[in-house]
Amino acid sequence: MKVLYIASSTGMAEGATKSLIAMISQVHTLGVELEVICPDENGITHWLKERDIKTHVVHFRHKRLPFTRTFSDKLKWLPRLIHDSWINFRAQPSVTDIAKTFSPDIIHENTSVIDLGYRASKAIGVPDVIHIREYGDLDFKMKLPGRKKRLTDKNVFTISITKDIKRHLCQDSNPNATQIYDGILQVSDIRFNECKEKWFLYAGRIERAKGIDNLLNSYVQYACRVDSAYPLYVCGGCNNPAYLEKMKAFVAENGLESKVVWMGERSDIADFMYRTAATIIPSRFEALGRVMPEAMANGSLCVAKYTGGTKEQLDNGLKFTGKPIAIGYEDNEQLTQALVNITDAAERGNAFEQGSEYRNMIDRSQRAVEDFFSEQSFGHKIIDFYTKILNQHKQSR
């Protein structure tokens, strides 16, 4: 079996890239011959070349309309649209030529915000797999022209990373659609640290969609309610320097510069999860949310907003274990109170000892992530779907 993958971006800290790495690693082990197209020379491109996986670099852009968040965005809307459309127009022949030369059985696009693989699959007559990792509208306020049409094309097969994304994009009635949770961890990665350190962790991009502003608001209220607030470590990159400065200014206005530690993007985030008293997941509307299962695998207590893909994970865990696998919250006040409760329990010295409420919750969470998010299970489910696609494709000829 031969598969041509198209990466929508290359950042190694991005969830889509991490999932692509897990997928490639597993299917390659299971005998798939593969090549990958990347949009630039960074991140995963180096990772692939280091492993002697044939990689092509073709510069392209996402298939979306430019944002109109600011007055400047509105002024630049048409030039940006023309610029991105021109880049994709120039990229398409290269992608199609690569597909013709490699002659894959399947083309697999790693997100639903690109369409170059879809067009190439049409040109060479093979099935196209679109991996739907984002709502688009609910999480990132994206307008994705043509996506609805692509998702219903008889030549297209879709993989939704959550049940709710599948429902939201009307894939429940699509016979070419399936739902597969991402492979996020190796079973051997699951661990627990009994010596938790007295600080909280946020791990994710610094942007409004991830809810960092709401977390900081709750943290300010938390700091007013406890005698000695645990520091908040903020780990993650930011593509909008102005937004980062706004968040830092808010922290400074409330006199908490010494308590909120801006760590930037980290390659050792798993160790932070292993050590922290709790990992906070405040996303406004997460698609899947890799952070929570990653944190759970590293033995972290999770405090997560009960929405989107995060809600689905919490509900799955509750159904699987019979009890909550994390502290869910719906508003800032509930988040504030959760931080206060964790601090009080930790100061009493019994927050994470064997048999405690939080320790039992962590144990349940680790059983759940092993069942739902192991890379090994992920790889086999992808191969099974590929096999179904190829059998169907042969019968339709």
DSSP string computed for 212-266: HHHHHHHHHHHHHHSSSPPPEEEE---S-HHHHHHHHHHHHHTT-TTTEEEEES-
pLDDT: is 396 or 304 the higher one?
A: 304
**For residues 8 and 95, what is the distance between their CA atoms, to the nearest angstrom?**
13
pLDDT: is 284 or 302 the higher one?
A: 302
Does residue 390 register a pLDDT over 90? yes
**What domains, with CATH codes, occur in the chain?**
2-183+374-396 (3.40.50.2000), 187-372 (3.40.50.2000)
**For residues 137 and 158, what is the distance between their CA atoms, to the nearest angstrom?**
18
**For residues 34 and 242, what is the distance between their CA atoms, to the nearest angstrom?**
40
Does residue 59 register a pLDDT over 80? yes
- The conformational region for residue 84 under phi > 0 = left, psi -120 to 50 = alpha, else beta, is alpha
342-352 average pLDDT score: 92
Q: Please give the backbone phi and psi of residue 159, each rounded to the nearest 5 degrees, phi first.
A: -120, 115
Query: How confident is residue 395, by pLDDT bands cut at 50, 70 and 90?
Result: confident
Does residue 287 register a pLDDT over 90? no
Query: How confident is residue 222, by pLDDT bands cut at 50, 70 and 90?
Result: very high
Element (H, E) at 346: helix 332-348
Per-residue pLDDT of 76-96, as tens digits, reads: 999 999 999 999 999 999 999
Query: How confident is residue 133, by pLDDT bands cut at 50, 70 and 90?
Result: very high
Taking the model in full, what pTM does it have?
A: 0.79
Q: Which of 3-7, 128-132, 287-291, 375-379 has the lowest mean pLDDT?
A: 287-291
Are 251 and 217 in contact, with CB atoms under 8 Å apart? no
Are 129 and 92 in contact, with CB atoms under 8 Å apart? no
Q: What angle do CA 206, 327, 336 make, to 5 degrees?
A: 65
Q: In whole angstroms, how far apart are CA 168 and each of 187, 296, 393?
A: 31, 27, 26
Percent of the chain with pLDDT over 90: 85
Residue 45: helix, strand or coil by DSSP? Answer: helix
Are 36 and 2 in contact, with CB atoms under 8 Å apart? no
